[in-house]
Amino acid sequence: MLNHLFLHCRPGFEKECAAEISELAAGLGIFGFCKTKDQSAFVIFIGNEADDAETLLQQLKFQQLIFVRQWFACVPFLDKLPTDNRITPLLEACTELPLCKELVIETVDTNDGKALSGLRKKIEKPLTSAMKKKGLLRGKSTSRLHVVFLTGSEAYIGWSPMNNSAVYSSGIPRLKVPREAPSRATLKLEEAWHHFVPADEWDHRLAGSMRAVDLGAAPGGWTYQLVRRSMFVDAVDNGPMQEALMETGQVTHHKLDGFAYKPKKRVHWLVCDIADKPIRVANMIATWVAKNWCGEAVFNLKLPMKQRYAEVQKCAAKIEEILADAGVEVEMNFKQLYHDREEVTGHIRRRDI
Ligand SMILES: C[S@@+](CC[C@H](N)C(=O)[O-])C[C@H]1O[C@@H](n2cnc3c(N)ncnc32)[C@H](O)[C@@H]1O
């Protein structure tokens, strides 16, 4: 019976995260309030009813959350952990939680959080073995136990369902920029695929010999990912593409305006990393999908300084309107990925492919 929900987010996006969870909760008839602090990289939603947090974990789909990186239902703040024995109070708090399969120790995505990585490593083994000894970890469970340290003596402890939460600690995937990749931006598309395309569907949805269009492609970080999956790519950008990528023979470079470009033949993937007005990008992507110029699309929406959640909703509504008019059914999701900054990534997939 837990009414506190811990939500990790990108620092600076606490208001968006709070607005999102409050709106979705209200849609389920769950009311409460959010505790937020600017740049803290987390939000606490406190529901009015005793089990509200667990109801939200059950009834909302994690995959649909935009600004939430990871979430778990937790017991109220533990603020007086003795620094010479943090383990005992953490074990006591576990009595309010279900048995879990595994324990993850997390910090928030701030400089203070990073400074606690030593503590995280130090406590992980002894806490895990103390929990095993008490029978608090069970191999058959489908829940995950989370401990987030805010300081050396302050923590939140709780649980998440493993099939409805992020697989990564704090919701942050550890991806490495490949040495030969033309830009760091390459990780945005790789992370998007990890998030939007289930691992067991990569072979047929990211298959060799598929065709793709990359709008705003230069210098080629996203094209690199498509080429790595053995696809053939039309890369559209006035800027120069990395030479090594062009030498693969899989890329055709078009020095054209991405908003005016039309494919000669239908492609499986459209990807777009053009930083322009979000609604302009949304309109263009919806047109591609509506006209069946592509089967799936990944695109970035650069967010304004204010009303960022509202802006994503406005773009989503516009896309839905265009696709409804065209009678096209899709799956559509947005996510502020770890490698996104002032932006969110969208994904659309036609249901008829
Ligand atoms: C963030 S960069 C893309 C980085 C790329 N995805 C990568 O991974 O290397 C944005 C690109 O969009 C291009 N761009 C901006 N407006 C464009 C337009 N109207 N048509 C095509 N490209 C455009 C810019 O030239 C720039 O190269």
Confidence of residue 209 (pLDDT cuts 50, 70, 90): confident
Question: Check: CATH 3.30.70.2810 for 4-171?
Answer: yes
Pocket (CB within 6 angstroms of ligand 1) = 182-183, 185-186, 215-222, 236-239, 257-259, 273-275
Spell out the CATH class of 186-350.
alpha beta
Mean pLDDT calculated for residue range 229-251? 98
Return mean pLDDT, the chain: 97
Q: Where in the chain is the domain with CATH 3.40.50.150?
A: 186-350
pLDDT of residue 83: 94
Q: For residue 195, which phi and psi values (nearest 5 degrees)?
A: -80, -40
Q: Where in the chain is the domain with CATH 3.30.70.2810?
A: 4-171
Q: What angle do CA 322, 324, 330 make, to 5 degrees?
A: 95
Please choose from 228, 274, 300, 341 the residue to mutate so as to test ligand 1's pocket, defined by most ligand atoms within 8 A of CB.
Answer: 274
Q: What is the value of pTM for the model shown?
A: 0.95
Catalytic site positions: 302
Contact partners, residue 247, CB within 8 Å, separation at least 6: none
Mean pLDDT calculated for residue range 264-270? 97
Query: Exposed/middle/buried for 1, CB within 10 Å: 0-12, 13-18, 19+?
Result: exposed
DSSP H or E stretch at residue 19: helix 14-27
pLDDT tens by residue, 109-156: 999 999 999 999 999 999 999 999 999 999 999 999 999 999 999 999
Please choose from 237, 246, 337 the residue to mutate so as to test ligand 1's pocket, defined by most ligand atoms within 8 A of CB.
Answer: 237
